[in-house]
Amino acid sequence: MDFSLSEEAQAIRSAAARFAHERVAPAVKAYRASNEMPLALIREFADLGYLGGVIPEAWGGAGMSFESLVAMVEEISTVDHVFAGQISHPSGLLGIGLLRYGSDAQKDEILRPLCAGAIRGAVAMSEPQGGSDVANMTTVARKDGGDYLLRGQKLFVSHTDHANFILTFARLYDAPDRAGICAFIVDRNAAGLVTTPIDDVGVLLPHSFVQVHYDDLRVPAARRLGAEGEGLRVAMCALESGRMALAARCCGAVRHCLESATAYARDRTVFGSAIGRYQMIQQKLADLAIGLTSARLLLYRLAWLKDQGIESARTESAMAKVLATELLERAASEAIQIFGGYGLTADYPWVQYLKDSKAFQVAEGTSEIQRMLIAEAVLGYREQGRFQLVS
């Protein structure tokens, strides 16, 4: 059993670390303060050839392993997990569904330029009446000749201000259950699409959130992703990869908390001793080190499973997300305690991390939903994702 990173993963992680510290770190405070996405930096990262992540080179991707992907995302997240989220999209929420369910024409038109950083996308899944119950959506798609007319609303859709398309999920009008859910690639500027800003959310800066309204928006059948009724599969495929990237982002941010708090504990002197000499501080650091090691083991095992060709690792992705997102909340809180008053200032990102951790525990399936999925797998209630205590 070899726990060391492959040569490919080590090389990509090193390149990601250089870019993060040389290019992202000097700019992160400014673009967080302005809440403006650093599009030029994202394009610069794309020029390195890594933006395509796990997408095969045949479709414009980097063809890297999932191990290399999570190593890259984790490393960049030690500087800024929001930037890391942006560069993970072609391998996560946006790209994986296109790779698995898209036609060759869709891959050529959408996936290839997405991997090159030439276009950007957004995902519209959650709705005002509920987000965790993805199958219970009220946005409908009514057939009209060779097209579909979409009507409904989506909530907390991010990055539409820079998106070229919105991956939208809707239920066929005459199919009331999950069997009728479809996925559509919707042009951001299509007639019948209106967005309403959701102001002052205050998490995941720089980030913009909107409510999307579809008013008989016409979508050609050629823009349906997958077959009719495969929309929920597209969504679950996207969410599984998205949760893996999200766990990697949290692990990177936790590393930032732990490394910074450790350095501060060595230097900060109280009552004649470095605070790192006091057991209460040591316990905080020890618990964070245990948590981070555990979270990274779950994360890299998940990446290993995906690299072995496992199509669905729903239970493992749920475990990785729950542990990493909740660990980030604890790490940010402990960093504030260790830094004291300084930890509450804008000089450090700990307060922002604390808020972001709560967003992560809600986004892409709440912690409660993840625990439900894990428990059902352990109990054997779900054939797909059945979990073995010993493998």
Report the C-alpha gap between 232 and 139 in whole angstroms.
14
Residue 112: the pLDDT is 96
What are the boundaries of each domain within the chain?
7-116, 121-229, 232-379
Superfamily of domain 232-379: Butyryl-CoA Dehydrogenase, subunit A, domain 3 (1.20.140.10)
Sign of CA dihedral 91, 97, 100, 106: negative
Residue 391: the pLDDT is 53
Residue 66: the pLDDT is 97
Residue 173: the pLDDT is 85
Selection from 93, 57, 90 nearest residue 72 by Cα: 90
Against a cut of 0.85, is the pTM above it?
Answer: yes
Low-confidence ranges of the chain (pLDDT < 50): none
Selection from 251, 205, 208, 250 nearest residue 352 by Cα: 205
Domain 7-116, second-level architecture: Orthogonal Bundle (1.10)
- 223 token code pair: 């823009």
Q: Express each pLDDT in 166-210 by its tens digit.
A: 999 999 988 767 789 999 999 999 999 999 999 888 888 888 899
Q: Which residue is it, tokens 């995941």?
A: 204
Report the C-alpha gap between 301 and 32 in whole angstroms.
32
Report the C-alpha gap between 9 and 296 in whole angstroms.
15
Range 121-229 has CATH code 2.40.110.10: yes
Residue 252: the pLDDT is 98
Residue 199: the pLDDT is 86
Sign of CA dihedral 361, 75, 245, 377: negative
Residue 128: the pLDDT is 87
